[in-house]
Amino acid sequence: MSTGSLSIYDTKSKSLHTIAGTDGVVRIYCCGPTVYRDAHVGNLRTFLLSDLISRTLQMTGLDVSLVQNITDVGHMADDFEEDKMLAESAKTKVDPFQIARTFEDRFHIDLERLNIEPAASYPRASEKMAEMITAIEKLIAMKRAYVGSDGSVYFDATSFPTYGALSGNKLDSLQPGHRYEFTDEGGKRFHADWALWKLAGARTQMIWDSPWGAGFPGWHIECSAMSIELLDAHVDLHLGGIDLRFPHHENERAQSNSLTGNETVDTWVHGEHLLFEGRKMSKSAGNVVLLQDVIDRGLDPLSLRFALLENRYRSQMDLSWASLEAAHSTLKRWRQLLSNAGTSAEMKFDQEVSDALTTDLDTPRAMQRIRTIEKDSTIGALDKRALFLFADQVFGLDLDRGVEQREVSSEIQALLDARITARAEKNWSLSDSLRDQLTNAGLEINDGAEGQSWSWK
């Protein structure tokens, strides 16, 4: 019986990598939120991925040093016309830095509600100007970057021989006019080059002095500068959503490898996207779901974590209210099971759970195993509790939290009693209508082999 090492799918080599780290520590960089709005449940799926990886590595006996940046400048809107922060500021008439701090705080609250362990640091792009400027100067000196005809600084994509190795988008196949071409980047030599430093032009907010004039950094250089500085120029594992593979990570790789002189990132991990009720979440479609919406429906925020665990990170997933509600009720049942079995903190190693998690993070298989243990009448209550606690090291579902006990009023007790009588008399229509009344009062009714039971929703 042993906990093996985590092997996980690397986007670049298209194969599983075993994660060993260096001297027992795994250095992870996860692209963080752009703080002009709340993170939606899709963004949270990606942020949860870093937690599941960290917890699995810790289960295998390794330490983790995780850095997650806060993008508060330089991330342009999809039409590349405007910085997302400034667009929000123009719309709401609130100072862009104030917007950033507000949504940064809310991001941390969401992480806490999802039991995502805090990173070692959360550097803000706006506070790393000196590091970014130094990196850009170095890239110019080594002729990987140049000052364009408009005075802005660009990375010369053709100077980096293995451009495209991560995403498969080789330079000779990239056509001008595609999404990667910034409309406001008229001064570059080649359509696939990208801005490292943009001159302010008419922009007056969120600009900084630089050797090339007042301006602001491009989004991609932020992650190179911060990962190199904070993780000692070597990243064991780099994470982000699948949309970041190109151009963000492809460009980051070109910058970072140029700066460090070697392959800076060992393993690139990308989480697939989350859909909601069959559709891509977008503001225009009006189907953006936040963790707060889950809470407002009376569901435990960890129901989201539960529902996400039931799908593997590498498959696209469709979340629905029905799956969140089902997760909420199973979560309660599991907590009840643990609480009925006492308070022992003892964990019992389970090979199947351990193997599932260390084999490319197969969380659905690990969850299935726990469901099987739940149903297995040959396993005693105390052992079940210990096995659940073992899995919960990574599941992070607070299974040991216990179940909230609230007294019922005498009116509700009368309805519960009446329903027991109605069922004994096989008066199903009365039993159904009493169930509706009890549900409206906030109870959840279950009819099992031992008769009616209830819990608070």
Binding site for ligand AMP (CB under 6 A): 31, 33-34, 42-43, 45-46, 71, 240-241, 243-244, 271, 273-274, 281
Minimum distance between the CB of residue 39 and ligand AMP, rounded to whole angstroms? Answer: 6
- C-beta of 159 vs 169, nearer to ligand AMP: 169
CB of 237 to Zn ion, least distance (A): 14
Residues that bind Zn ion in the complex, under the rule CB under 5 A = 31, 223
Six-digit token string for 432: 């159904």
Give the shortest CB-242-to-Zn ion separation in angstroms.
Answer: 13
Out of Zn ion, ligand AMP, none, which partner does residue 42 contact, by CB within 5 to 8 A per kind? ligand AMP
Measure the CA–CA gap between 339 and 384, rounded to whole angstroms.
11
CA 122 to chain CA centroid, Å, is 14
| Half-sphere CA count of 440, side-chain side, radius 13 A | 7
Q: Which is nearer to ligand AMP, 12 or 332 (CB)?
A: 12
Q: How far is the CB of 198 from Zn ion (least distance, A)?
A: 17
The answer to whether the annotation marks 252 as part of a ligand binding site is yes
Report the partner that residue 281 touches, choosing among Zn ion, ligand AMP, none (CB closer than 5 to 8 A by kind). Answer: ligand AMP
Cβ contacts of residue 19 below 8 Å, gap of 6+?
5, 6, 7, 8, 26, 57, 62, 236, 237, 267
Our CA angle for 436, 371, 385, nearest 5°, is 100
H helices of 283-347, in order, are 291-296, 302-309, 321-340
Residue 244 DSSP code: G
283 annotated among ligand-binding-site residues: yes
CB of 56 to ligand AMP, least distance (A): 19
Rounded CA gap, 295 and 304, in Å? 10
For ligand AMP, the closer CB: 123 or 240: 240
Choose the one of Zn ion, ligand AMP, none that binds residue 223, judging by a C-beta under 5 to 8 angstroms depending on kind.
Answer: Zn ion
Shortest separation between residue 280's beta carbon and ligand AMP, angstroms: 7
Q: Which CB, 41 or 223, lies closer to Zn ion?
A: 223
In the complex, residue closest to ligand AMP by CB: 241
Could you list the beta-strand ranges (E) of 251-379: 265-271, 274-276, 279-280, 317-319
Beta-carbon neighbour count of residue 429 at 10 Å? Answer: 8
Residue 218 interacts with which of ligand AMP, Zn ion, none, CB < 5 to 8 Å by class: none
DSSP 3-state percent helix, strand, coil across the chain (nearest 5): 45, 20, 40
Which partner from the list ligand AMP, Zn ion, none does 389 bind, CB cut-off 5 to 8 Å by kind? none
| Cβ within 8 Å of residue 111, ≥6 positions away | 47, 118
34 binds, among Zn ion, ligand AMP, none (CB under 5 to 8 A by kind): ligand AMP
Residue 63 or 277 having the CB closest to ligand AMP: 277
Which residues sit in the known binding site for ATP? 283
Which residues sit in the known binding site for Zn(2+)? 31, 223, 248, 252
